[in-house]
Structure 1
Amino acid sequence: MSLLEIQGLKIGYGRGRRAKEVVHGVDLAVDTGETLGLVGESGSGKTTIGRAVLGLIPPLAGSVTVAGRPVTGSMSKVERRAHAQAVQVVFQDPYTSLSPSLTIADTLSEPLKAQGVGRAEATARVNDLLDRVRLPKDAGSRLPREFSGGQRQRVAIARALALRPKLIVCDEPVSALDLTTQAVILDLLIEIQRETGVGYLFITHDLSVVRHISHRVAVMYRGDIVEQGETRSVTGNPMHDYTKRLLLASPVADPREQRQRRAAWLESRATFCGGVAAGT
């Protein structure tokens, strides 16, 4: 059994006749120590799947299982507490996801205390977390506004690791960072995975990011998985036109190549939206 198993997942919003299904029978899996990149443009349904994995949205149909435990909208308080220990999240914007009035030490110790960890052990765990994300121990006494975007994302990663989860949902965790800082944060996530065996469901719109960190990739378009497989295969020889379009949208450092890719993307957009690729 995989660490994360999603089978026939359907998710919708609204009730009655106004209910709208936004995820249509999706199957996904993530193993221990593995990263699955879930890729798609805004509105594709990828973040909705992430919220379902976190237990924030009940499915219309299908199932979500983490470490052998079902994730449902009717979980008891005890079950939700166990789920919070097993699954954590890193959001896109670390500044808005961190309380501006709490020191970093208080931010990192908060989930530990909520789980009944004593003060002395919490302090030791906070120091270990800061070391793991390569921040100095005196960072614990500072506030989020005193850090750069990359440093704040390190804090967010440390907070996600606080309860030693088996799975972390990474929801666009580097999209707000410059390319150099993105690479550093991705390398940090890879190193943490090697050390801890944590699995990642890595949600992003950028296939170049997926190529850097993911073992496998699933491409999502309008609520459906249109292509899925090993990262090297999907990004090196994409079969679906939507995947090819996403590859053209990925940023590169060379300005000339970026302009060429932008022109090709605009051309593919006209073709794709015109319906040529819609049925492939």
Structure 2
Amino acid sequence: MSLLEIEDLVVRFPGRGRRTAPFTAVDGVSLDIRRGETVGLVGESGSGKTTVGRAVLGLTPVAGGAIRFAGTEIQHLRRAQRRPLASRIQVVFQDPYSSLNPTMSVADILGEPLRAAGVPRGRARARVTALLDQVGLPGDAADRYAREFSGGQRQRVAIARALALDPELVICDEAVSALDLSTRDRILALLIEIQERTGVAYLFVAHDLAVVRHISHRVAVMKQGRLLEFGSCAQVTSEPAHRFTGELLLSSLVADPERQRERRARRQALQH
């Protein structure tokens, strides 16, 4: 049985005026995530991929379909009913600068979910130290403020916060898109290492298929709210079933200017 099952998910947002029809952001999306697996959810801006993640987190109302976590439907749970899920489903947001409170010490940021879960102070402090070690930050980072760290270090703090309660699933919403290339690669390697050690599953939401290919076991491709294809990483990124997936592959940046020009020309040819 899969850890997370999304079946025919539909998410609609009200129109801006009385005569404006509702906007369907997600239209009949189905996918699943197994325990210890990373599923990459990729698409252009506005494709609905982030909305899928927000629906799993209960941050967006669901108009249709089902979301099952460990066999239990969760799409219509009220806020109080979702609280027990907080220790099992966590999130890492895109911007490490806005996702952390700059006025709080790292110890307070990491200790907050532990205190909310009723973990005693002594155990919480030990857990904070272990989390910092787990994400490759020195122990004295606990007493520093988030604003004192670089973007990559802040994202490590954000990952540590997401892991504080030993979740079974972490939703990574564009978790590396705000980072430079070298920092991005280190964070991806960290996520893979943590998964191998803990067995946590990831829903990895991104717009860059090259990044998704680096970390995912399976890949789902979205466009305009619909799922175009879903399969093994090797199949989707090497022999895509849909032309749009090929366009996404060619849109990924490469360091070689000549190769980049060739990719741009091939992408333009696909679009005509």
Q: TM-score range by the shorter chain?
A: over 0.9
Equivalent residue number for residue 53 of structure 2: 50
Preserved contact between residue 56 and residue 73 of structure 1 (Cα < 8 Å): no
Stretches of structure 1 that go unaligned for 5 or more consecutive residues are 272-280
User: What stretches of structure 1 move > 6 A for 4+ residues in a row?
Assistant: none
Equivalent residue number for residue 193 of structure 1: 195
Stretches of structure 2 that go unaligned for 5 or more consecutive residues are none
Give 2:192's aligned amino acid.
I
Preserved contact between residue 103 and residue 147 of structure 2 (Cα < 8 Å): no
Q: Answer yes or no: is 1:69 the counterpart of 2:72.
A: yes
Quote how far apart the aligned CAs of 1:72 are.
2.6
* From 23, 35, 39, the counterpart of 1:36: 39
Give 2:112's aligned amino acid.
E
1:126-205 pair list within 5 angstroms: 126-205=128-207
Give 2:185's aligned amino acid.
A
Q: Answer yes or no: is 1:10 the counterpart of 2:10.
A: yes
Over the matched positions of the two proteins, sequence identity in percent amounts to 58
Counterparts of 1:110 and 1:266, CA distance in 2: 49
Quote how far apart the aligned CAs of 1:267 are.
4.1
Equivalent residue number for residue 121 of structure 1: 123
Counterparts of 2:25 and 2:77, CA distance in 1: 21
Preserved contact between residue 31 and residue 230 of structure 2 (Cα < 8 Å): no
Quote how far apart the aligned CAs of 1:57 are.
1.2
Counterparts of 1:134 and 1:8, CA distance in 2: 39
Deviations 1:64-112 (A, max 9, x none): 11122322344251x2111111110001111100001001110000011
Quote how far apart the aligned CAs of 1:263 are.
3.3
Q: SS state of the match for residue 239, structure 1?
A: coil
TM normalised by structure 2 equals: 0.95
Give 1:91's aligned amino acid.
F
Equivalent residue number for residue 245 of structure 2: 243
TM normalised by structure 1 equals: 0.93
Counterparts of 2:267 and 2:142, CA distance in 1: 44
Quote how far apart the aligned CAs of 1:253 are.
1.8
Count of aligned pairs:
269
Preserved contact between residue 66 and residue 86 of structure 1 (Cα < 8 Å): no
* From 81, 84, 95, the counterpart of 2:83: 81
Preserved contact between residue 37 and residue 202 of structure 1 (Cα < 8 Å): yes
**CA RMSD of superposed structures (Å):** 1.4
